Amino acid sequence: MSLVLYYHPLASYCHKVLIPLYENGIDFEPRLVDLSDAESSAELLAAWPVGKFPVIRDTLRNLIVPETSIIIEYLDQHRPGPVRFIPADPDAAREVRLWDRFFDLYVSTPMQKIVGDRLRAADTTDDFGVIEARVNLDGAYDMLEPHLASRTWAGGEDFSMADCSAAPALFYAECVHPFTPSYPAIGAYFDRLMARPSVMRVLDEAKPYFPFFPFRDAIPTRFL
């Protein structure tokens, strides 16, 4: 098997890459990253010294591919399947890349700030940073609501990289800073995302690890 995926089943950015892998039935060898294990961490750092995951190793080309958006572009180019994640049309591709960036930077980043703060020791929490993250999420929801009211998927009428980014971002954001029921168009889009078999599979595989999620009590019961 030529693709090795360094990942963890609970990690939101790993979901972002598992979705396209499952959408197109791409074979890969899963390599679970355990940051509490020195050997596992060292293997990840050797592949990508930034230490963030997921990371893909393509053993056929002797290549490391980090960063989720770059990984999805790589899969689209080198393992194309029935679902194309970046449209061929340059204007449509730009729109997909824009909303991919939007979900990473303006939904995932504040969502992760809130989650990360919950994991800190009581005397090192960043209350102001968490308030700021919640304000940022409200701003993102205000922008997403009209955007999603007029389209099926985040980048247009076809499922794309932007939706791979949106699914985990919104799944965890709904737990830490709910958008339902106040934002009906985001809620309807979220339901469309959650009904995708690839997304259902990713969440099913994450389920055994839900007890480790600091906002586990806020996971909607339909996912448990």
Ligand X SMILES: N[C@@H](CCC(=O)N[C@@H](CS)C(=O)NCC(=O)O)C(=O)O
Residues contributing to the site for ligand X (CB under 6 A): 11-13, 51-53, 67-68
Q: Which is nearer to ligand X, 52 or 120 (CB)?
A: 52
Q: Which is nearer to ligand X, 52 or 216 (CB)?
A: 52
Q: Which is nearer to ligand X, 52 or 207 (CB)?
A: 52
Q: Which is nearer to ligand X, 7 or 141 (CB)?
A: 7
Which H, E and C letters describe the chain, residue by residue?
A: CCEEEEECCCCHHHHHHHHHHHHCCCCCEEEECCCCCHHHHHHHHHHCCCCCCCEEEECCCCEEEECHHHHHHHHHHHCCCCCCCCCCCHHHHHHHHHHHHHHHHHHHHHHHHHHHHHCCCHHHCCHHHHHHHHHHHHHHHHHHHHHHHCCCECCECCCCHHHHHHHHHHHHHHHHCCCCCCCHHHHHHHHHHHCCHHHHHHHHHHHHHHHHCCCHHHCCHHHC
Q: Could you tell me the smallest distance in angstroms from the CB atom of residue 13 to ligand X?
A: 4
Q: Could you tell me the smallest distance in angstroms from the CB atom of residue 165 to ligand X?
A: 9
Q: Could you tell me the smallest distance in angstroms from the CB atom of residue 142 to ligand X?
A: 24
Q: Could you tell me the smallest distance in angstroms from the CB atom of residue 52 to ligand X?
A: 4
Are the beta carbons of 97 and 69 closer than 8 angstroms? yes
Q: Could you tell me the smallest distance in angstroms from the CB atom of residue 157 to ligand X?
A: 25
Round to whole Å and give the CA distance between 37 and 94.
40
Nearest to 97 by CA among 111, 106, 87, 83: 87
Q: Which is nearer to ligand X, 12 or 198 (CB)?
A: 12
Q: Could you tell me the smallest distance in angstroms from the CB atom of residue 207 to ligand X?
A: 17
Q: Which is nearer to ligand X, 11 or 183 (CB)?
A: 11
